[in-house]
Structure 1
Amino acid sequence: MRTFTNVPKATVGDRVAILSPAFAAPAVSEAVHEQAMRRLTEVTGLVPVEYRTTRQLGASAEARAADIEAAFADPSIRAVLATIGGDDQITVIPHIDTDILASNPKPFLGYSDNTNLHNLLWNLGVPSYYGGSTQVHLGPGPHVDDVHVASLRAALLDGGIIDLTDPGESEDFGISWTDRRALEEFGIREPTEPWAWAGATTVAEGPTWGGCIEVIDQIALANRMPDVADLDGAILLLETSEELPNADTVKRWVRALGERGVLDAVAGVLVARPPVSELHSAVPLANERTRLRAVQRDTIIEQVARYNSEAVICVGVPFGHTRPQWIVPHGNTIRLDGIARTVSADYN
């Protein structure tokens, strides 16, 4: 099993890097971005520091890699936060000097396309935190969601072991950033469904690995996956993006992880509540949204069980492409208690 280095926490007043390692979302709406920066300081006491490509649309892979290196190399920077994901971070990874990241470990927060950078850090033995987008979870809306604040502070400042809970409501996307209402209103929220538990009725506890399954597919094709032996006893994190892959596509991805040996190696699988509404388009009716989530849930459970009947599976936890969102450890431990049906995460 992969071992991980101890990454120190920040303290109030420290500086943290704000990067756009994939898409430079702040360039679309500086108002949302600047509100996010104010709120970050309000809820953490930390000081955001932007880099050359943070607001630069179309920045080269080399330039974005240089910002990543600079943020990790600077001893005054105590953590690195991504503004959002994207779709081409896979091209950034080869330009990163891995010795700099390995020699200067610090918390990295992001999700979606940032699965690429999480995977790189994981392979270097540096734990990170899957979740958090300043442009999605800090800037928009009337306030920052409580579960996001709790996990943001745990990841950056406080540490601790936290029981993940269901906030009871969820939105697939918010108001368009170019609409002034985005600064004051949430998107359309609906009640959540109970989390689904399947597999063995036991306790699975281990270091986490995974992320957005569309990106894991790219990582595999680029031959950057961890060795299967390093995933022995791990908790696999899986989530899907706003591109809304259908259940058959998700089935093929999960089945391929089974054929690779990943599903047999892990002790448990934690699956996020998926978005099922197309971004800023017509929203399916409530019964159709429920059906789409259920079909994906059943497909994943079926494929995991096919390869590993002893794995503990929990589906529906709000991480990844949803809001409210828990930021969850990537590399540190998550405990899936299939008996008590609870999920706890170690942010130490």
Structure 2
Amino acid sequence: MLPNLRGSPTRLRPGSRVAIVSPSSPGPGVFPHVHELAMKRLQLELQLTPVEYPTTRQIGATPRERAIDINAAFADQSIEAIMATIGGDDQITILPFLDADLIAKNPKPFFGYSDNTNLLNYLWNVGIIGYHGGSTMVHLARPGGLHPLSTASLRAALFTGGDFELQPVTEFSEDEQDWNDYKAWADPDGLQPSPVQSSVGWHWHQPDRVVTGPTWGGNQEILDWNLAVSRWIRNDMADYSGCVLLLETSEEMPSSTYVFRTLRNAGERGLLAQFPAVLVGRPKASNIEVRLGQEERVQYRRKQREAILNAFSIYNPAAMIVFDVDFGHTDPQWILPYGGFITVNGPERRIIVHYG
């Protein structure tokens, strides 16, 4: 059965103390100019008080040291939320050092995405609602300032709660700013957002029902790792029954073959059959090293969509799926609850987030 999920006991307010942690890559230590801009905006624009932990900027911190910071942030009664600075590729190694009992007794919202899917899934298993999105170096230090759409959902998650209706965006961006360009980041007013592309909105597959359920999922590559180690995936697949699956891929731009095979593996375990509705994040088709042409980007997204439809046609042909919802690695990014409820209204083509 589903865990008894709990959110934050209180909404944040101006001056609330927020833990700033680096459970994966030491981005703040490598790019301190980007991190400091994020902290400045956290204070000036969101009016929150950042509290850095020993490994937040530490390059080479061990998994145990990073886990100590996570445990301490949950244990500290003065901390009202926890934000990851950035993702990475080894967060799975800190999970064995986390204190599940301590964390479960001190629920508070955790924000992050990408490699932070590890922590979001871990918290889901101990009964705590997290938030997919909100990594500080990406969203707060964004070139050109905070994106109004991303920030609206972040504010709803942090401060106001309630129901929040997502909207298809008219433009999105995916080309990254070079964080090594110290001169550009020294003048944040001079930073330019990455080039934008026009959006054709969401793609609906079988929008024939209304589904309300708690969310689970996150970054597909990280979910694949969790399934491989079998420590933070429940043995009884029925525990996921009725959840709305969140699914998105990273800037590493996995192939459509990889996307299909990992979903096939999940399907063979009976996992895909549990989800009546699926939200798929807009795939990122560009990174700092690979800049595809516009038609190549369209084809990359089309092939990924086809791979996902192929997998679900085999393992859950009745699923309602919405593609190109902006909660993945592109910009803007909706901040979605992880374990909290979402309504996917197919007949009306609406997605409503319930922030509690």
TM-score range, shorter chain: over 0.9
Which residue among 249, 252, 255 is the counterpart of 2:261?
Answer: 252
**Map of 2:152 onto structure 1:** 150
Between 252-261 and 166-175, the greater mean CA deviation after superposition:
166-175
Residues 306 and 169 from structure 1, CA distance in 2 versus in 1: closer, same or farther, beyond 3 angstroms? Answer: same
2:88 match: secondary structure: coil
Question: How many Å separate the matches in 1 of 2:117 and 2:296?
Answer: 29
C-alpha deviation, 1:282, in angstroms: 4.3
CA contact (8 A) 1:200 1:309 kept: no
TM-score, length basis structure 1: 0.96
Matched, 1:230 2:231: no
Q: Which residue of 2 aligns with 1:181?
A: 184
Contact in 2 for aligned 1:250/1:300 (Cα 8 Å): yes
Partner in structure 2 of residue 325 of structure 1:
333
Shift of 1:215: 0.5
Structure 2 partner of 1:41:
43
CA RMSD of aligned residues (A): 1.3
Q: Secondary structure at the match of 1:289?
A: helix
Q: Name the counterpart of 2:319.
A: 311
Within 5 A, what are the aligned runs for 1:88-127? 88-127=90-129
Q: Quick check: 1:295 aligned with 2:313? A: no
> Match of 1:275?
284
Residues 202-241 of structure 1: CA deviation (Å, up to 9, x unaligned): 1111000001111111111111213311111000111111
**C-alpha distance in structure 1 between counterparts of 2:207 and 2:264, whole Å:** 19
Give the superposition deviation at 1:309. 2.5
Tell me which residue corresponds to 2:61: 59
8 Å CA contact retained: 2:207, 2:345? no
2:18–2:48 contact (8 Å) kept in structure 1: yes
Note the alpha carbon deviations across 1:72-120, whole angstroms, 9 max, x for none: 0000000000001100001000001111110000000000111111111
Is the partner of 1:190 in helix, strand or coil? Answer: strand
Match of 1:7 in 2: 8
Q: Which amino acid aligns with 2:240?
A: L
Q: Residues of 1 paired with 2:84 and 2:246: CA distance?
A: 19
Partner SS, residue 336 of structure 1: strand
Look up the equivalent residue of 2:330 and give its one-letter code: T
What aligned pairs does 1:22-37 form with structure 2 within 5 A after superposition?
A: 22-37=24-39
Q: Which residue of 1 aligns with 2:213?
A: 206
- Structure 1 residue 157 displacement after superposition: 1.2
Counterpart amino acid of residue 191 in structure 1: S
Maintained 8 Å contact 1:111/1:212: yes
Q: Helix, strand or coil for the counterpart of 1:205?
A: strand
Distance in 1 (alpha carbons) for counterparts of 2:26 and 2:169: 29
2-structure distance, mates of 1:32, 1:167: 26
Q: Does the aligned pair in 1 maintain the 2:202–2:323 contact within 8 Å?
A: yes
SS at match of 1:206: strand
Q: Is the 8 A contact 1:140 1:185 kept in 2?
A: no
What is the distance in 2 between the residues matched to 1:93 and 1:211? 17
Q: Between Structure 1 and Structure 2, how many residues are aligned? A: 347
* Cα displacement (A) at 1:17: 0.3
Post-superposition CA distance 1:9-50 (Å, at most 9, x none): 222211000000001111222121111111112332211111
Q: Residue in 2 aligned with 1:218?
A: 225
Deviations 1:303-328 (A, max 9, x none): 11322222211010111211111111
| Distance in 1 (alpha carbons) for counterparts of 2:318 and 2:290 | 40
Letter in 1 for 2:46: T
TM-aligned CA deviation for residue 200 of structure 1:
4.8
CA distance in 1, matches of 2:238, 2:8: 24
Mapped to 1, the partners of 2:290 and 2:222 lie a distance apart of: 26
In the alignment, the residues of structure 2 paired with residue 128 and residue 143 of structure 1 have an alpha-carbon distance, to the nearest angstrom, of 25
Structure 1: tracts of 5 or more residues without a match: none
Measure how far apart 1:181 and its partner are.
2.5
More divergent stretch after superposition (246-255 vs 39-48): 39-48
Q: Distance in 2 between matches of 1:342 and 1:68?
A: 36
